[in-house]
Structures are given as C-alpha cells and as structure tokens.
Structure 1
Amino acid sequence: MKQERNPSDLPGWLSRLLGLFSREPQDRQALIEILRGSEHRNLLDPDVLLILEGALHVSDLQARDIMVPRVQMDVVREDASPQEIIRIVVESGHSRFPVVGSDASDVRGILLAKDLLACFSDVGMDNFDIKDVMRPAIFIPESKRLNILLREFRASRTHMAVVVDEYGVAGVVTIEDVIEEIVGDIADEHDLDEEENIRQHGRNRYTVQAITPIAEFNEFFRTELDDGEYDTIGGLIVSAFGHVPARGESITFHGFNVRVLRADKRRVLLLRFERAEKPEPDG
C-alpha cells in the first residue's frame, strides 16, 4: 500500500507553493493574484508568470484584436510575375502571403515562400503558375476567440487565417500573432530592432518603449501630453502611478489603458497601450 507523503517532507519551495493554493481561487483574478504572489515569493520566474498570465488573458481576446488590418497586409497578386513575387518576398521578409485578385479584399489563397522556391527549382520561372503552388485560404470570423483559433491552427497545421467581418476581408492573423499574446514579442531576423519605440499590434493595441520621447508619442497618437517636466513616456507613467510599477500593473492614462509589460526595481521598460473604449451614448 502506497503511503501518502507528509507535507512536511516536501521541499520548502513546493510546500509554500501548495500553501498558496490551499484555498481554491473563486475567479480568474484571484488565480492571477495567487500566481503573482508566487512570483513575489520567488516561487515562479517572472517570465513564467508572464506566460501564465498571457495564457489566461488570450481567451478574452478575439481575432479582431490582434489581426493585421487589410490595408497593412503584404499580399501577392494572382497575376504577378515571378520577379515581382520574389521582390515582395524579399522586401517583406514574411514566409506567408495572401494571394489576391483585383484587390486585397479578394483573397484567392495563401502562398508559402518555401513552396515558391520549390516550384522555381522544379519548373523554373518560365513555366510558373501561382495556382499550382498556392494553398487554400482559411477564413475565420473576426469574433473568433484566440484560444480556439490556436487550437484550430494546431489541428489543421496551418499558420495563417484570413479574418472576415460583415463587409468582407478585414485582415489576417498568424499563429505567431497568437503565441506572442501568450509569451510576448518573438523577434526574428526580419523584425525591427529595439530602436523602434512604438509598435502596433492589431487595431487598437500598441507596445511602447518606456524611453520613447513624449514628443514622438504625441506625434504618433496625436495627443498633447506635457513634456515640460518629463522627457519620456515612461517618466509620465511612473508619475501617474506614484511609484515604480511592477510588471502586470495597469492604469488608465489620458484615454488609454496602460499595462506594464516589462520593468525592474528601478524603472519601467516596456508598456502596452490600448485606447480606452468610449462609453455608448444614452439613447
């Protein structure tokens, strides 16, 4: 007969972690607070906490929240020449492209750069026909929740979906976009370097380096924040908090919901800005 292990025999860190869960959390926020408490007690690595919070957060997001809007999509026209397609692939650095007809709202399929190279190797440019290599496009509603979308990406082994709304094609979303919501930005050799202070993610979400000059922030967002006392957006945010905030803390600031994504004990490093939803006018 297997003997149950006495809690006092467990390693100290594991015993403390189990103690945090001695009372079952009643809602998601309570669970997050337990996880944050574990990180403060050095039971969880900060990066692990960020991933756990991201995994909990992703089920609240929909495809519309992170998609690349149609006007910003890098596309390949169905009638483009091989030379033009190669130019687009090289300049964009992407590996997947919607293939469109007359315009970006007319998506015919998806082109993978690796399929393009294999085709050129087999048949050459003279006999190239994009219909021979493009794959079927997957269309999803803009309301598709990201946790469900990630499951479908894995099941279908596809990495890109076309997002549609009531008017037609609204944008595209990739499996990398979804994963970045969980683990944070994934930099690759084609991503811009750290000198890019403001990056847009989807329709209404932005990551902002704390060292971003207030003048640059104002120009980007068309705001009029005062730069008389502080030079950077990080300085304004710390002042609004009244203390150096820890990662995960959030605040409403001049029409934005601001969340601290990266910070240390002395300063904030990276912030997420979302424009606050305007309340619906009373009928």
Structure 2
Amino acid sequence: MQEHSSKVRSSDLKPHRSLFERLTALISPEPENRAELLEVLHDAQERNLIDADALAMIEGVFQVSDLSARDIMIPRSQMDVIDISKPIEEWMPEVLSTAHSRFPAIDGDRDKVVGILLAKDLLRYYAEEVFEVRDMLRPVIYIPESKRLNILLRDFRANRNHIAMVVDEYGGVAGLITIEDVLEQIVGDIEDEYDFDEEEDNILVLDSKDIHQRWRVKGLTEIEQFNTVLGTSLSDEDVDTIGGYVASHLGRVPHKGDEFDIGNLRFEVLRADARQVQMLLVEQLPASFSDE
C-alpha cells in the first residue's frame, strides 16, 4: 500500500495535460531537425507571430553555419590592395577613392601580403616629417577556404580582428573576408557612408571552372547591368532586378541551394531569406546543356 501511495504522489509532481494537449502532441510533434524547425518558423511568420526581419535573421544564423570562407570571400583578383614596394604617392589616390578602412599591404606580389594597413594610420603621413609604412602595418590573419563562417565570426570577436586573408590548399592567397561580410549573412547588406557606388560590387567575376565563366551576383543587381556584363538578353519588363527575375522564373521566393538553368546559364542560390534572394552563383553552361 505504501508503495502504491508513493507512486501516486510521484505522478502528482508531473504537470497535468488535458486529452486535447496529448492528442496535439501526437499529431504535431516538436521539430526534430533544422528543416522542420524552419518550417515551423515560416508558419509562425505567416501567422504574424514573428515578423519577416526576425525570420530572415534566424535563417541567416543557420546559413552562417553552412557557409565557408570561400563562399563569400572577395576573390584575389577583386581585392583592393596597396603595394608598399612603390612610393606612397602612387597608391594613395586608390586609398582615397575606395575609402576602405583596412587594406592588405603587399610587397610587389599579391601572394606576398606583409600586413594590414589601417587607413586612419595614414593621417600620420600628413602630420609627421618621417613616415615609414612598414612600421604602421598590423599582423595578417590567414584562414583556409574551408573555414566555417560561424567559427570565423567567433574568432573575429575573440581576437578583435576585422579582416582575414583566405588561402588555398597550396598556400596562395585566394581572397579576403571581413567581419562585415560575415555579419551581412545574418542581418543583410550593411550600408555605410562610403557605399555610394555599389554597382561595381554587384557582379564579381570568379575563377573560371574548366573553360566556363562563373560570376557571383547580388540579387539586387539590375537586369540591365546583368545583361551588359554577361551578354544576356533577359527581359526587364515585369521586374527590375535579377533576384526578382529568378523569383518570377521559379514562381516563389527562392531558397538557399536552389539550382536551375535559364538559357545557357546555370543559377545557384547562395543566400536568400524569407523575402528575397540575396546572392547567386551564375555559371556559363556548355552549348550542349543550353535550353533549346
């Protein structure tokens, strides 16, 4: 009797659930993986339990753990660098025109990055009689192309670094990545007072794959610019941007990982949120793969 009484008292400690709650738990179990969780969150957004911005940031957090440095880095050929083997007067105009806060400093070769120069340190060039650029350089941080962005963001925060050089398997410089690049995967594009001419960065030419050209294209790139750079003739009658064109082609908001062909181009969605596609990888197809 005492044992039975003890069992009853033990069960009394559990919260009471109605029959309806137990049936609901059986019919709608808690999400067991990321896809199910995102489905629940999308449903919550559609019912206005969370707003689109919150959902987009949650999706961005998930994407950061999936992406690596090679996915979002600025390619080697597109890097703005200063060559300290040349007189400062030769590269100072480029510093002023690009208006970056940090520059990789090379010594005659893009594979020989000897330090990072902070633009603010150049103020001493105008204030001091003796100015040695090499003394102003900060240490370089190197990371492999395969480094996950969530780990890189943690390292950036822990070490208070804002920029890292990305190297390939042979130790050559493949590109660069900044903390802003990583944060933009979560909160979307971050515009500052110097982002007055973003068209130059809308389409980045990547290294060719075999003989076929590849580009990384922002979703907000205007179709007119896309056609000019890639030599295409996509219509801009109904939509203005390539992201809008892609959404119209699919008949829905694109998802990360979507792949599809349009003409002789293959599109892969690199980044998207609940509202729009943000980044695309576009690859030229061989003639035999083109749409008839």
TM-score by length of 1: 0.74
SS of residue paired to 2:111: coil
Greater helix share, structure number: 2
Partner letter of residue 280 of structure 2? F
- Counting aligned pairs with the same residue, the percent is 45
TM-score by length of 2: 0.72
- Provide the residue aligned with 2:193 in structure 1: 189
- Provide the residue aligned with 1:206 in structure 2: 217
The within-5 A match list for 1:26-175 is 26-118=32-124, 120-121=126-127, 124=128, 126-167=129-170, 168-175=172-179
Contact 2:115 2:138 in 1 (8 A): yes
Per-residue CA shift, 1:58-93, capped at 9, x if unaligned? 111111111111111111112333434432221111
CA distance in 2, matches of 1:133, 1:197: 29
Cα distance, 1:240 vs structure 2: 2.3
Contact 2:60 2:273 in 1 (8 A): no
SS of residue paired to 2:219: strand
CA distance in 2, matches of 1:220, 1:23: 49
Per-residue CA shift, 1:169-211, capped at 9, x if unaligned? 11111000100111110011111357x397146945321337x
- Between the two proteins, the alignment pairs up a number of residues equal to 249
Contact 1:69 1:172 in 2 (8 A): yes
Contact 1:101 1:108 in 2 (8 A): yes
- Provide the residue aligned with 1:12 in structure 2: none
Structure number with larger C-alpha Rg: 2
Structure 2, unpaired ranges of 5+? 1-13, 18-24, 207-214, 286-292
SS of residue paired to 1:209: coil
Query: What's the C-alpha RMSD, in Å, of the aligned pairs?
Result: 3.4
* Residue 179 of structure 1 pairs with residue 165 of structure 2: no
CA distance in 2, matches of 1:98, 1:251: 35
Contact 1:261 1:272 in 2 (8 A): no
Q: 1:198 and 1:256, CA in 2 relative to 1: closer, same or farther beyond 3 A?
A: farther
Partner letter of residue 108 of structure 1? V
Per-residue CA shift, 1:231-277, capped at 9, x if unaligned? 744664354234xx3475856342112465575xxxx7x65322379
